[in-house]
């Protein structure tokens, strides 16, 4: 009982701590925005806030000349921003956006910049103690970027093999996601009863945490006790001729790890596409189909000439997102093959990156590797959206 109360207190204490810190930050910004025109602002703020900053730095053990100078520069920047740019008008939006902005700064921008920093230096297992003790690591320029392409990240596969595997993985997954999603969405949109129930059931794999879903499915692919092999064995028992044409239990995880991962990820990804495409289908006015019926279109002609072109606007963003997510999908590959004794046969770029960083401990190399993956994905997204925009403006101008 005491434990529970203590845990609750901890939670509330943590929430209160966050609230208080946000409050302090807001108060700090507010005082600058509100009293920007007072002559004393420069004097008071520099004095009082510098004193407070020194105090906090001392408590946090961050006290150093460098940090102090940074803070002074920040203070001057803030005073000038509030004097010249904001001028006491409409400063509420800035106050409201500030906590989120700080969060982004801490969680996105800082790691990104740090990664760029790492990628030009050499941090690995042999230099990490030096970094800890002296605070410096050797600068190596572009060496890490060159090694990305020349030194394999894993024991078995180099960059280009991994890239090819990743592209294959992405393409096959997206293809079956869209195909499966489209078929299911068509069936659902034709369904007159129980549509809500089916839709809910379909969304279950999507709504489940991927870790749970993947680990559960991984069990089903077990060579001896997995559902799939059990079913194959039962089928052979009932229809012995199946064995004669070569059907038999498969060692999924050891013989076909990539195929297994793809099967699992296809199953995981279909619901998302189904929901998106179903939304698209339901937004198509029924009168187009009436008009097409009268024009003499068969069911498949209607699909080709009406449905597909009209769901393209919803499909394209979904495919772009899906491409990025699949390209970047470490969960499935790592959870299926990444544990001890696992294979490297199924690794794609991101899972290789993870292993390079946290199994082989080559931090700077992985940072450069991550930058390369980031650039590839960035280009894919840009070209997708370009393609998309051009199509749209074409139509607008024609």
Partner 1 sequence: MASVTFKKIVKKYNDNLILDGVDLEIRDHEFVVIVGPSGCGKTTMLRLLAGLEEITSGDIEIDGLKVNDLPPAKREIAMVFQDYALYPHMTVKENMSFALKLRHFPKDEIEKRVKESASILQLEKLLNRMPKQLSGGQRQRVAIGRAIVRKPKVFLFDEPLSNLDAKLREEMRVEIARLYQKLNSTIVYVTHDQVEAMTLAGRVVVMNKGHIQQSGTPLDVYRKPQNVFVAGFIGSPTMNFLRGKIEKQEDFFYFSNQSVKIFLPLFSFPEVEKYSGKDVILGIRPDDIILDDKKIDHAHKISGNVEVIELLGHRENIYIKVGDQKILAVGEAFSNFSPGSLVEFSFNYKNIHIFDATTEKRINS
Which residue of 54, 98, 208, 306 would you call a contact of partner 1, by CB under 8 A?
306
Determine if 294 is a binding residue for partner 1 (CB under 8 A).
Answer: yes
Strand partners, 121: 139
Binding status of residue 296 toward partner 1 by CB under 8 A: yes
Least Å from the CB of residue 306 to partner 1 = 7
Task: By CB under 8 A, tell whether 93 contacts partner 1.
Answer: no
- Structure letter (DSSP) for residue 158: -
Residue 374 is encoded by which pair of tokens? 């980031």
Asked if 389 is part of the footprint of partner 1 (rule: CB under 8 A), the reply reads: no
166 CB-near residues (< 8 Å, 6+ apart): 327, 348, 349, 350
Given the rule CB under 8 A, which of 166-174, 299-307, 316-324, 373-381 is the region that contacts partner 1?
A: 299-307
Q: How many residues bind partner 1 (CB under 8 A)?
A: 19
Contacts of 390 (CB under 8 A, 6+ apart): none
Interacting residue with partner 1 among 305, 325, 360, 384 (CB under 8 A)? 305
Among 131, 288, 325, 384, binds partner 1 (CB under 8 A): 288
Residue 301 interacts with partner 1 (CB under 8 A): yes or no: yes
Residue 310 binds partner 1 (CB under 8 A): yes
Count of all residues that appear for the chain in the document: 398
How far does the chain reach from its first CA to its final CA, in angstroms?
73
Eight-state DSSP code of residue 303: I
Q: Taking the complex as a whole, how short is the minimal distance between the CB of residue 191 and partner 1, in angstroms? A: 18
CA distance linking residue 105 with residue 242, whole number of Å: 60
Shorter beta-carbon distance to partner 1: residue 95 or 310: 310
User: Is residue 167 near partner 1 by the rule CB under 8 A?
Assistant: no
Residue 186 binds to partner 1 (criterion: CB under 8 A) = no
Among 285, 300, 339, 340, the residue binding partner 1 under the rule CB under 8 A is 285
Give least dist CB 274 to partner 1, A.
23
- Between vectors from CA 244 to CA 241 and to CA 250, what angle results, nearest 5°? 105
Distance, in Å, from the CA atom of 243 to the CA atom of 252, rounded to the nearest integer, reads 18
Find, among 328, 352, 308, 386, the residue nearest to 174 by Cα: 328
150 binds partner 1 (CB under 8 A): no
> Which of 93-101, 237-245, 281-289, 336-344 is the region at the interface with partner 1 (rule: CB under 8 A)?
281-289
**Sequence-separated (6 or more) residues with CB below 8 Å from residue 248:** 232, 236
The span of 90-98, 155-163, 295-303, 341-349 binding partner 1 (CB under 8 A) equals: 295-303
Which residue lies nearer to partner 1 by CB, 66 or 192? 192
Among 291, 303, 382, 387, binds partner 1 (CB under 8 A): 291
Q: Around 231, how many Cα atoms within 13 Å sit in the side-chain half-sphere? A: 6
Angle, CA of 195, 199 and 202, to the nearest 5°: 140
Whole-angstrom distance, CA of residue 217 vs CA of residue 322: 21
**234 or 304: CB nearest partner 1:** 304
Among 37, 156, 237, 290, binds partner 1 (CB under 8 A): 290
Selected range binding partner 1 among 242-250, 296-304, 320-328, 338-346, rule: CB under 8 A: 296-304
Between CA 337 and CA 353 the distance in angstroms is 14
Residue 297 interacting with partner 1 (CB under 8 A): yes
Per CB under 8 A, 172 contacts partner 1: no
Q: Let me know: does 327 contact 259? Beta carbons within 8 Å.
A: no
Interface region with partner 1, contact rule CB under 8 A, candidates 25-33, 76-84, 302-310, 320-328: 302-310
Among 39, 40, 287, 339, binds partner 1 (CB under 8 A): 287
CA distance 28 to 37: 16
Least distance in angstroms from the C-beta of 288 to partner 1: 6
Tokens linked to 203: 């969304």
Q: Is 299 in the site for partner 1 (CB under 8 A)?
A: no
Give me 40's structure tokens: 């004393």
- CA proximity to 156, closest of 337, 377, 323: 337
The answer to whether residues 372 and 359 touch, using CB atoms and an 8 Å cutoff, is no
- Which residues are near partner 1 by CB under 8 A? 285, 287-288, 290-297, 301, 305-306, 309-310, 395-396, 398
């Amino acid at each position: 009982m005491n434990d529970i109360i203590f845990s609750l207190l901890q939670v509330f204490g943590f929430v209160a701590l966050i609230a208080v810190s946000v409050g302090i930050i807001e108060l700090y910004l507010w005082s600058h925005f509100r009293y920007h025109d007072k002559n004393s602002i420069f004097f008071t703020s520099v004095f009082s806030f510098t004193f407070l900053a020194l105090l906090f730095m001392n408590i946090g053990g961050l006290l150093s000349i460098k940090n102090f100078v940074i803070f002074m520069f920040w203070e001057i920047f803030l005073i000038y921003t509030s004097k010249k740019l904001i001028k006491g008008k409409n400063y509420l939006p800035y106050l409201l956006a500030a906590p989120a902005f700080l969060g982004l700064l801490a969680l996105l921008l800082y790691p990104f910049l740090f990664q760029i920093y790492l990628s030009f230096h050499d941090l690995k297992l042999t230099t990490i103690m030096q970094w800890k003790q002296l605070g410096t690591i050797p600068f190596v320029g572009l060496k890490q970027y060159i090694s990305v392409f020349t030194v394999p990240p894993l024991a078995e596969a180099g960059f280009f093999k991994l890239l090819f595997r990743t592209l294959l993985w992405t393409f096959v997954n997206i293809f079956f996601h869209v195909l499966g999603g489209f078929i299911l969405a068509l069936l659902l949109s034709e369904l007159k009863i129980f549509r809500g129930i089916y839709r809910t059931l379909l969304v279950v794999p999507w709504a489940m945490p991927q870790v749970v879903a993947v680990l559960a499915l991984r069990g089903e692919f077990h060579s001896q006790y997995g559902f799939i092999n059990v079913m194959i064995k039962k089928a052979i028992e009932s229809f012995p001729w199946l064995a004669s044409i070569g059907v038999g239990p498969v060692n999924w995880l050891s013989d076909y790890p990539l195929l297994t991962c793809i099967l699992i990820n296809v199953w995981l990804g279909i619901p998302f596409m189904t929901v998106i495409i179903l939304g698209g289908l339901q937004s198509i006015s029924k009168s187009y189909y009436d008009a097409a019926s009268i024009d003499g279109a068969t069911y498949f002609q209607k699909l080709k000439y009406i449905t597909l072109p009209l769901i393209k606007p919803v499909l394209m963003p979904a495919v772009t997102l899906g491409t990025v997510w699949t390209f970047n999908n470490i969960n499935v590959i790592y959870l299926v093959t990444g544990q001890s004794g696992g294979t490297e046969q199924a690794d794609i770029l991101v899972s290789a990156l993870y292993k390079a960083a946290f199994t082989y401990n080559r931090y700077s190399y992985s940072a450069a590797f991550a930058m390369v993956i980031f650039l590839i994905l960035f280009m894919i997204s840009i070209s997708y959206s370009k393609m998309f925009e051009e199509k749209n403006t074409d139509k607008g101008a024609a």
